[in-house]
Amino acid sequence: MNRAVFLDRDGVINQTVMKGNIPSAPMSLSELKILPSVPQALRTLKEAGFKLIVVTNQPDCARGIQTHEVVEAINAKLKAELPLDDIRVCYHDNDDHCLCRKPKPGLLIDAAADLQIDLSKSFMVGDRWRDMEAGQSAGCKTIFIDYQYLERRPEQFDVALQSLLEASEWICKLL
């Protein structure tokens, strides 16, 4: 069985685009900015033997303000530039009641089945409460990247850190 680090996309891999006080996804390739320490953090995790899987909610597609094509172009650019094994996307909104939209753990569970991942030896890194709940529900350790957003905070997580680089160092200390 493999170990994985599941990564939220916007806010963990790339910068969020703030719309007022709400963190949002980039709306175009030109808005995509990979966070500076992310390549180093991902290399460290890859060298430690982890599968690297992005799990991202992209409800703007269901809301009609983003296209699947732009989301896929952003994801393709991330895969081309970073050592990611997979990117899993939920395109649904809350009212769709799907199993893949975080905080439900469907994206993680499906990836684990497809890639033979032991969820109990895996981690979920995210910057929002939905990420933490999805990771916990899947049985992963959870790392909260705390940007002090003015929104609901996660109730539980294993550790709060400031970046994916800090998260990679924390994970590797546990090995």
Which of 8, 95, 127, 158 is flagged as catalytic? 8
Helix, strand, or coil (residue 128): coil
Residues 6+ apart with CB under 8 A from 163: 35, 37, 41, 145
Active site annotation includes 127: no
Whether the Cβ atoms of residue 27 and residue 61 lie closer than 8 Å to each other? no
Angle at 142 between CA 169 and CA 35, to 5 degrees: 55
Active site annotation includes 8: yes
Residue in the block written with tokens 């003015």: 150
Active site members:
8, 10
